[in-house]
Amino acid sequence: MGAVLPLSLKDERVSFAHTQAGIPVIVERLSYARSVALSVYVKVGSRDEPKGREGLAHLLEHVMFKGTKKRSSKETSELIEAAGGELNGYTGKESTCYYAVALDETLGTAEDILADLMLNPRLDDEAVDNEKKVVAEEIRMLKDEPDTYIHHLFTRALWDGHPLASAETGEAEGIASLSAEDVRTYFQECYRPQNFVVAACGNFKVGQVERWASEMFDSHARPGRSNDRVPPSARSLIETFPREGDQAYVGMGFPGVNAAHPDRYVQTLLSALLGAGTSSRLYQKVREDKGLAYSIYTLSQPFSDCGMFGVFFSTSSKNMETVIRLVASEMHKIKAEGLEEDELTRAKRLIKGVLVRKLESSESKMFHLGEFFLLTGKAPTEADILGAFERVTEDDVVRAARELIDRQKLCIALHGPGKTTKKASKSLESLDI
């Protein structure tokens, strides 16, 4: 096995503190940058919604941008763009993020806008009604993009009945039933400073962000409901989801490790070996050797208390079962035969390249810090993470493969022509890995 080249990253300074009200503040100062990225994460996502109110967290995120008690949405847009930046947000399964990016010289403007957004949203009836229509269009658009929709279908098959199985957007019928009062109540219960995490990256004085978080949010602490999360129970089955057309979309995989698990990095490397990049085993076998799919890839997705490991591809319905059996065969080979020479080294280099390129902007670094902290309670540097990958051995990967890739835990979602997928689901009951 070839030697792994040593890491050579710039010295990083990630600072971590709490305000007096207990708000975590994670910052990384980049003295060479000319930009700043500032975010407030709320520790509630789609998995934390009340039963029967699926999509509420995402709808609230939309409505948050429709004006505050201080400014209209147009005034906010003009102000942040005059500061050379942008204001945006997104809803995940375990958190909701609001962020502003700006020039380093206009950080104060970004701070003012973001604090106003988090503390003083209007959440009026008209805005809620309007955004319900927008979200309904978003849901219809998602269902028209089967390459993306198969991820939701696989998660639904794996964890059906658990909040993690629901799409962040909710369903159109459920969104239509939500009221403005539902939105305002959810905001009051969940958008409390005790649920905030502040993450920032860029060219600023480290203490400045902590002072801003304390001055803006500490005095607004208030009681609210807590998140009573329960890990999902994974299902092992083959589930079909009919669609029109000849193309079939497949997600197949297993429950994986959570974000704080020691094997998190091992599972990511196993994923890379199987399906990350054009040199991966599945890409070479399914696309290059057999020509049966345009795209095939793996995904290792950790959450705070669970995880999933999946393979995703699309192919013509007549080739669907063949590709599934090829995937199973490649999985079996890793378990039975181990790794090829230099295969792990190549995977480590691929991951290093992806991570380093991804984190070259202040905005990307901010997301990395905030999301990692929310999942694990830690804020490692790039060097910390890459060092963890470097310490993974071939024996670690093979052991993890044997533990993870288990036929008794296999879940498959088939999204294709009804007759073909039903026939394949019966035939694949004999599938071995």
Give backbone dihedrals phi and psi of 32, rounded to 5 degrees, phi first. -85, -10
Q: What is the model's pLDDT at position 226? A: 72
| Cβ(257)–Cβ(175) below 8 Å | no
Query: Considering only CA atoms, which of 211, 201, 198 is closest in space to residue 20?
Result: 211
3-state secondary structure of 371: helix
Query: Quick one: average pLDDT of 10-33?
Result: 87
Query: Quick one: average pLDDT of 207-226?
Result: 90
The predicted-structure confidence for 359-380, as pLDDT tens digits, reads as follows 989 999 999 999 999 999 998 8
The predicted-structure confidence for 160-183, as pLDDT tens digits, reads as follows 999 999 999 999 999 999 999 999
Mean pLDDT of the chain: 94
Q: What is the model's pLDDT at position 213? A: 97
| Cβ(393)–Cβ(208) below 8 Å | no
Burial category of 395 from C-beta neighbours within 10 Å (exposed 0-12, middle 13-18, buried 19 and up)? exposed
Q: How far apart are CA 170 and CA 167, in angstroms?
A: 5
pLDDT band of residue 12 (cuts 50, 70, 90) is low
Res. 4: pLDDT tops 60: no
CA 129 to chain CA centroid, Å, is: 28
Alpha carbon separation from 80 to 108, 110, 180, 196, 325 (Å, rounded): 11, 7, 27, 22, 52
Query: Considering only CA atoms, which of 3, 1, 4 is closest in space to residue 389?
Result: 4
pLDDT band of residue 228 (cuts 50, 70, 90) is confident
Indicate the DSSP class of residue 257.
-
Q: What is the model's pLDDT at position 3? A: 34
Res. 9: pLDDT tops 60: no
Indicate the DSSP class of residue 233.
P
Q: How far apart are CA 151 and CA 413, in angstroms?
A: 9
Query: Quick one: average pLDDT of 31-57?
Result: 95
DSSP string, 109-156: HHHHHHHHHHH-B---HHHHHHHHHHHHHHHHHHHT-HHHHHHHHHHH
Give backbone dihedrals phi and psi of 262, rounded to 5 degrees, phi first. -60, -25
Alpha helices (runs of H) in 178-233, residue ranges in sequence order: 180-190, 206-217
Residue located via tokens 């063949």: 322
Domains 14-220 and 238-430 share a fold: yes
Is the torsion defined by CA of 351, 356, 359, 365 positive or negative? positive
| Cβ(324)–Cβ(428) below 8 Å | yes
Give backbone dihedrals phi and psi of 300, rounded to 5 degrees, phi first. -105, 115
The predicted-structure confidence for 109-124, as pLDDT tens digits, reads as follows 999 999 999 999 999 9
Take residue 286 and report the two structure tokens written for it.
Answer: 């399914």
Q: What percent of the chain has pLDDT over 70?
A: 97
Query: Quick one: average pLDDT of 313-330?
Result: 98
Q: In CATH, which of 3.40.47.10, 3.30.830.10, 3.40.50.720, 2.40.100.10 is domain 238-430?
A: 3.30.830.10
pLDDT band of residue 257 (cuts 50, 70, 90) is very high
Res. 11: pLDDT tops 60: no
Q: Note the residue count of the chain.
A: 433
Taking the domains of the chain in order of start, what are their residue ranges? 14-220, 238-430
CATH class of residue range 14-220: alpha beta
Answering whether pTM is above 0.85, one says: yes
Query: Quick one: average pLDDT of 229-238?
Result: 97
Residues 6+ apart with CB under 8 A from 217: 19, 21, 23, 115, 118, 119, 193, 196
The upper half-sphere exposure of residue 126, i.e. CA atoms within 13 Å in the direction of its Cβ, equals: 3
Sheet holding 196-202, edge to edge: 14-18, 24-29, 196-202, 35-42, 96-103, 86-91
From the CB of residue 39, how many other CB atoms can be counted at a distance below 10 Å? 24
| Cβ(89)–Cβ(190) below 8 Å | no
